[in-house]
Structure 1
Amino acid sequence: MKLSTLAMAMGAMVLATGLAHAQDKTFNIWWFEDPASAQGTAWTKALEEFKSAHPDVTVNFEQKTFAQLQASGSMILNSDQAPDVLEYNKGNATAGLVASQGLLTNLDDYVTSQGWDKILNEGDLVLSRYDDKGIYGSGHVWGIPANGEYVSGFYNIDAFDKAGLKAPTTIAEWEADMDYFKKQGMTPLALGAGDTSGQHLLASLAYTKADDTWIQNYQGLKAPLDGAPYLYAAQTLIDWVGKGYISKDSTGMKDPDAALLFTSGKAPMYVSGTWNLGSFSSTIKDFKWGQFVIPTAKYSVGSTGNLWVIPKGAKNADLAAEWISQTLSPKYQTELANAGGVAIAADPATITDPVGKNAVTVFKQISDANGLGFYPDWPVPGFYDTLNQKDSGLFQGTLTPEQFVDEIKKVYDDAQENQ
């Protein structure tokens, strides 16, 4: 009886060990890039190779959305539902916040053991490092970018050529272009006013009035908010809506709907980021299109790309690091560029796609001039929703430009004072 009991106990132990081993052989990965985007296209191919290289591992991929992780990232990372590796938004309010909460794996050792320090320079890693308060630029490495990105104006080259217009290089030229199309009965600029493109246009206009000190103070929470650049931006938006350059209907419009106005040829311009390059390349068939850098004195809304992060509770951190290395490899950096993405570590000689080649060139032009101004929601946790809400208020007419600045300044200054 005792032997039988012992045998049963041993059997249970073996079964438990087997189950634990099987669980260790399950690798979970999430990202939120659209399947048609350059990142989605390149990473899907990388994932197939990763699966083939690890036949003993069950690789589970889950497609997420930016909004899901923006709203629930901390909660997910602080649970047993977190994957082994996932794409996460960079910046103080997102990656910095969860790093300061102890929810991410310190990647310092992997940076050297995986050779990422040979691929990425310190400029590429500035948004990977966060201090104990979650402020970017110094401290441990908590995430790794595999691409770059920037906000620009997308424009219908055929429509511009037909009108005898060129891509604008000043705000005055941009307004003149929009005025022309408005007189032709078109809404010149498609915009998701209460979504990402709305706050990115707002920030782009603010950055036309921003100098080095303003950017450093703003992104680093180094001083109360100087609202003058945002006041100019808000006043300009109200002016553009009043002149019909932007539709009042854009108040309730989301980015996918605004993008569709551009890709269908109904609007000749759209302000958004390079994450659209892959999908625009595959969906726009009826006209030639291009990008123009939004005319600012120096700074563009943009940065290195979102980060691959490894949750603190990841069961397969080494496999996660191997995955990150695969996305940084020459093969998949070239895949990314040839899908129209902004490859951060591709050899330009290997890029055959003109969209990807141009994107890499423009990104390098901006970053070499230290002109990446980062994103407007980064400094303060929850600021993304604040800017979307207040931006919508501008378009709806429930907030004046002065009230807009007062309300975002209160949120910003409270965070700055209490950091």
Structure 2
Amino acid sequence: MSREDGMFRSRTSVAAAAAALLVASLGLAGCGDSGSDGSDATTLTLWHYEGPTSAMGIAWNKAIEEFKAAHPGVTVKFEEKSFEQIQQNAGMILNSDSAPDIMEYNKGNATAGLLSKQGLLTDLTDEAGKRGWTDALSTSLQTTAKYDGDGVMGSGKIYGIPNYGEYVMVYYNKDMFAKYHVAVPTTLDQFTAAMDTFVRNGVTPLSVGGAEYPAQQIFYELALAKANRAFVNNYQLYQGKVDFHGPEFTYGAQTFADWVSKGYIAKNSAGIKAEDMGVAFERGKFPIMISGSWWYGRFANEIKDFDWGTFLFPGNQLHPGSSGNLWVVPTKSKAKSLAYDFIDITMKPEIQDLLGNNGGVPVAADTAKITDAKNKELIDNFNTISSSDGLAFYPDWPAPGYYDVLVGAVQGLINGSKTPSAMLDEIAGPYQDNLADLGR
């Protein structure tokens, strides 16, 4: 999520110099002059933050190859950025002449919605209709592509195109489950009983990254155990009032704190990043990891020493998840026509099938061409959630800067510096302030 643009705007020479240094440090470069739609551009500058061995990274690299073949006179300047780089600096960069021509960006009110409201993203509505992108996306997947004048998702103009879906699930080490005679749980009570078994045997059950997004998604998964669609729509789409001390968030915060006290979550995980969490699971140090489908392809490629599997969070009908991240075209893109052509290629059946066969969740693949049984299961689970209106989006979406608010709040539950009630007060304030700013 980008920080509010005003945080970066200053007319002082010191701030201007700092901004220039930041732009230089990110290795940003603009394209040459071109027509208003970039129809005569000879360079396409593209950013994304998918690892090269992930399903998305593999698919997008193939898309770049196909784009080059179809545009022999065009140079593709690809720059891989970290999620945090783009999250922290997107508003400032996209408001400069160093904006890329096309970029992968996080979806939701606090991110794509905020930038659309600030006029930093190109309206893709007409292009999406002409090129058939909307025909390939289900109604639920289009929720995160559309934003109204306030930057609230679900209606309005199309500002980004998702090419894949994603959802949070439970990854588990089958060898460790077998060693301690733990069965795959189907209810939350069975899940906690399984974690009790690991704790009794001196094993911390959960690999958790408290310094970034993973821990807050566990908190949200627990809140969703007591939630319904009305709660999600009130929280995410502002369709009604949200009681942060109501049964949903109270259960999420209290149960998360209980999981820490019971030893399910290590207290030092407050300082662990998502990457280190995933690597620890890959190395067999933890039997369970609760995180997103974006890890699936990587684990399939990199885990060699044990058998692993996945299951949906036990008992929940609602799950953190949505369309995947969006391809957005910055307003200051100098090669918009080329950017649209690239989006087209990522929606082609062969790219979508490649995504699915490498552990991704494509939005327009031919499932008959997905050859791996586990990959089919991954896609089928997503389709089951999506078709039953079970996608509950992510907890940090509703307000600008809310990602950092939730990281700090959940870290407080992990290290014991905040009570569940104090944690809920902490996250309620910025949410309510955002509603007030929107006049809602």
The alignment partner of 2:140 has SS state of coil
Q: What is the distance in 2 between the residues matched to 1:34 and 1:166?
A: 33
Q: Distance in 1 between matches of 2:101 and 2:121?
A: 11
Aligned position for 1:312: 331
Give the distance between the partners of 1:327 and 1:129, measured in 2 at CA.
19
Q: State the match for 2:112 in structure 1.
A: 95
Tell me which moved more, 82-91 or 42-51.
42-51
Is 2:341 the counterpart of 1:322? yes
Give the C-alpha shift of residue 296 in structure 1: 4.2
Say whether 1:54 aligns with 2:77: no
SS in 2 for 1:24: coil
Aligned to 1:117: 134
Q: Which amino acid aligns with 1:45?
A: K
Secondary structure, counterpart of 2:363 in structure 1: coil
Task: In structure 2, give the amino acid aligned to 1:294.
Answer: F
- What letter matches 1:317 in structure 2? K
Find out whether 1:370 has 2:385 as its counterpart.
Answer: no
**Shift in Å at residue 212 of structure 1?**
1.8
Pick from 263, 275, 281: which aligns with 2:294? 275
TM-score, scaled to structure 2: 0.89
Q: Is the 8 A contact 1:225 1:413 kept in 2?
A: no
SS state at 2:142 partner = coil
Q: SS of the residue aligned with 1:86? A: strand
The count of residues paired between Structure 1 and Structure 2 equals 401
Paired residues of 2:182 and 2:197 also in contact (CA < 8 A): no
Partners of 1:315 and 1:122 lie apart in 2 by: 31
CA contact (8 A) 1:222 1:416 kept: no
Q: Which amino acid aligns with 2:289?
A: Y
Report deviation, 1:224. 4.1
State the match for 2:181 in structure 1: 164
1:45 pairs with 2:45 = no
Is the aligned partner of 1:339 residue 2:358? yes
Larger radius of gyration: 1
For residues 360 and 351 of structure 2, what CA distance do their matches in structure 1 show?
Answer: 11
SS in 2 for 1:177: helix
Query: Does structure 2 retain, via aligned residues, the 8 Å contact 1:225–1:409?
Result: no
Conserved? CA contact 2:66–2:345, under 8 Å: no
CA distance in 1, matches of 2:132, 2:176: 47
Flag structure 2 segments of 5+ consecutive residues without an equivalent.
Answer: 1-31
Q: Which of these residues, 24, 32, 51, is aligned with residue 34 of structure 1?
A: 51
**Partner amino acid for 1:147?**
Y
1:225 aligns with 2:221: no
Q: Is the 8 A contact 1:224 1:416 kept in 2?
A: no
1:359 matched to 2:378? The reply is yes
Shift of 1:111: 1.1
Residue deviations 1:140-173, cap 9 Å, x none?
1110000000011100112223333222221111
Give distance in 2, aligned partners of 1:215 and 1:117: 24
- Structure 1 stretch displaced more, 85-94 or 181-190: 181-190
Match of 1:69 in 2: 86
What is the CA deviation profile of residues 56-87 of structure 1, one whole-angstrom value per residue up to 9, with x for unaligned ones? 11110000111111111111111111111110
Task: Tell me the residue number matched to 1:83.
Answer: 100
Distance change >3 Å, CA 84–CA 257, structure 1 → 2: same
CA distance in 2 between counterparts of 1:251 and 1:120 reads 37
Whether 1:134 aligns to 2:151 is yes
CA distance in 1: counterparts of 2:141 and 2:266, whole angstroms = 37
- Partner secondary structure for residue 141 of structure 2: coil
The residue that corresponds to 1:206 in the other structure is 223
Counterpart amino acid of residue 364 in structure 1:
N
Alpha-carbon offset, residue 221 of structure 1 = 2.5
The match for 1:181 is 198
The answer to whether structure 1 residue 150 and structure 2 residue 167 are counterparts is yes
Secondary structure of 2:46's counterpart equals strand
The CA distance in 1 between the partners of 2:118 and 2:279, in whole Å, is 39
Q: Is the 8 A contact 1:158 1:287 kept in 2?
A: yes
Q: Is the 8 A contact 1:151 1:272 kept in 2?
A: yes
Q: 1: CA distance between counterparts of 2:157 and 2:183?
A: 45
The answer for unaligned runs of 5 or more in structure 1 is 1-18
AA matched with 2:99: A
1:52 Cα deviation from its structure 2 partner: 2.1
Q: Contact 2:108 / 2:144 at 8 angstroms: preserved in 1?
A: yes
Give the AA of the match of 1:31.
H
Is the Cα–Cα contact under 8 Å of residues 33 and 334 in structure 2 kept in the other structure?
Answer: no
Provide the rounded CA distance (Å) in 2 between the counterparts of 1:325 and 1:166.
44
Question: Secondary structure of 2:399's partner?
Answer: coil
The 8 Å contact of residues 36 and 279 in structure 1, kept in 2 or not, is answered as: yes
The residue matched to 1:154 in structure 2 has which SS?
A: strand
Amino acid at match of 1:199: Q
In the TM superposition, residue 194 of structure 1 has moved relative to its aligned partner by 2.5
Say which of 42, 46, 68 aligns to 1:25: 42
